[in-house]
């Protein structure tokens, strides 16, 4: 076992998820567990959420088919939506593991049809799909003004079953909600047209984490919850209308202690110069694990309820901290992210240094450090 590890607090995951349920009331929830459940471990996270009985997510979502396969092998039987469109080599997995495809072009439909002929084997009556609508993200999806005819054609094709339609908000986490409200309006106009033309379109979902917090008009039939489950608001400008607690802590231990003399330097590049005699410790964690090199000389850790500054350049496998004359022993617990007594370090503290978002921080902790599940 790597001497550094991530502690995943399942009680906090449960509490966060129940608070999302309370906020969104009677709509369905699609639990987004892509990217190894945002670094929290896809298999254990999904199994835990799936164990919540009547309050469990109605759907799960992943980015790629191989992530959906992991869920199926973990005995997750709920519907699983794959966000990224399938390519030819992935189509067999769609049928083998009963995954829901995202489509928004004729090319996608052809790939799935060809795969149906080859891999359907008469077992699959219809291919379930969700159609992605571009309401302004301008990344993936069929543009909303062209979507009606496309959805009509898919609905009339005997091979396909439209299980849902969805869109993705470009900036729902920002304080100004004018653009996500425009995107919502565009989606509602499309829904109205589909109803008028008596076209079945399944479930509608649009609200990501920012919209779950602040745009109840975008809840529709189902919301997609990702980072909220793991205890982080998507930005500093969203409301705190759901109580959240970070689920992940990053823990390590003191592996060496050294006396540094005045004038000595530390680590690669020699960019820390001791101004006086001091003691330093090293911790077995580095940029290969997710402790970014750009944090060099700017981050802190907590030991016995006290903050200590990180010094020198972060290396691939090791970081150092200045502990002055404090009495700290080998093997002492070091909190990199998380709480220790009354002190706390969160992903937001790193965001402030790195000018990034908590998504990048929590997804950045590599599988080289083990996930330990508790509570």
Is-contact 24 223, C-beta < 8 A? yes
Annotated catalytic residue, options 34, 128, 132, 177:
34
55 is a catalytic site residue: no
Is-contact 357 234, C-beta < 8 A? yes
Annotated catalytic residue, options 107, 110, 195, 268:
268
Place of tokens 């869920």: 71
Long-range pairs of 182-189 with CB within 8 A, sequence gap ≥ 24? 182/135, 182/136, 183/135, 183/136, 183/137, 184/135, 184/215, 184/217, 184/218, 186/135, 186/136, 186/144, 187/133, 187/135, 187/144, 187/220, 189/144
Pairing between β-strand 319-324 and β-strand 306-311 as defined by DSSP bridges: antiparallel
The residue among 123, 118, 117 whose CA lies nearest residue 98 is 123
CB burial class (10 A; 0-12, 13-18, 19+) of residue 136?
buried
Alpha helices in 25-105 (DSSP H): 34-39, 42-50, 65-73, 91-96
298 is a catalytic site residue: no
Is-contact 101 82, C-beta < 8 A? yes
Structure tokens at 268: 């690669």
> Active-site positions?
34, 268
């Amino acid at each position: 076992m790597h001497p550094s590890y991530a502690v995943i607090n399942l009680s906090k995951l449960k509490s966060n998820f129940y608070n999302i349920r309370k906020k969104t009331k009677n709509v369905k929830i699609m639990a987004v567990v892509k990217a190894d459940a945002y670094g929290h471990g896809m298999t254990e996270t999904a199994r835990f959420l799936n164990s919540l009985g009547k309050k469990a997510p109605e759907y799960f979502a992943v980015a790629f088919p191989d992530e959906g396969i992991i869920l199926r092998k973990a005995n997750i039987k709920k519907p699983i939506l794959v966000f990224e469109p399938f390519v030819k080599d992935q189509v067999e997995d769609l049928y083998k593991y009963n995954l829901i495809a995202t489509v928004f072009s004729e090319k996608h439909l052809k790939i799935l049809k060809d795969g149906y002929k080859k891999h359907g084997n008469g077992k699959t009556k219809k291919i379930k799909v969700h159609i992605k609508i571009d309401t302004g993200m301008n990344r993936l999806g069929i543009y909303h003004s062209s979507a009606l005819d496309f959805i009509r054609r898919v609905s009339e094709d005997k091979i396909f079953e439209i299980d849902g339609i969805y869109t993705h908000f470009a900036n729902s986490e920002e304080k100004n909600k004018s653009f996500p409200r425009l995107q919502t309006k565009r989606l509602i106009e499309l829904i109205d047209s589909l109803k008028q033309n008596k076209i079945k379109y399944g479930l509608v979902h649009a609200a990501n984490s920012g919209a779950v917090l602040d745009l109840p008009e975008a809840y529709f039939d189902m919301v997609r919850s990702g980072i909220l489950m793991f205890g982080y608001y998507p930005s500093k400008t969203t409301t705190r209308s759901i109580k959240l607690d970070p689920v992940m802590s990053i823990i390590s231990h003191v592996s060496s202690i050294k006396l540094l003399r005045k004038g000595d330097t530390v680590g690669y590049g020699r960019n820390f110069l001791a101004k006086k005699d001091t003691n330093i410790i090293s911790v077995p964690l580095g940029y290969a694990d997710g402790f970014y090199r750009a944090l060099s000389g700017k981050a802190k850790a907590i030991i016995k309820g006290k903050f200590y500054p990180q010094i020198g350049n972060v290396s691939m496998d090791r970081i150092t901290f200045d502990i002055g004359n404090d009495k700290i022993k080998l093997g002492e617990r070091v909190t990199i992210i998380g709480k220790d007594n009354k002190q706390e370090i969160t992903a937001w503290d790193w965001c402030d240094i790195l000018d990034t978002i908590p998504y990048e921080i929590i997804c950045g902790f590599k599988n080289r450090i083990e996930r330990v599940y508790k509570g």
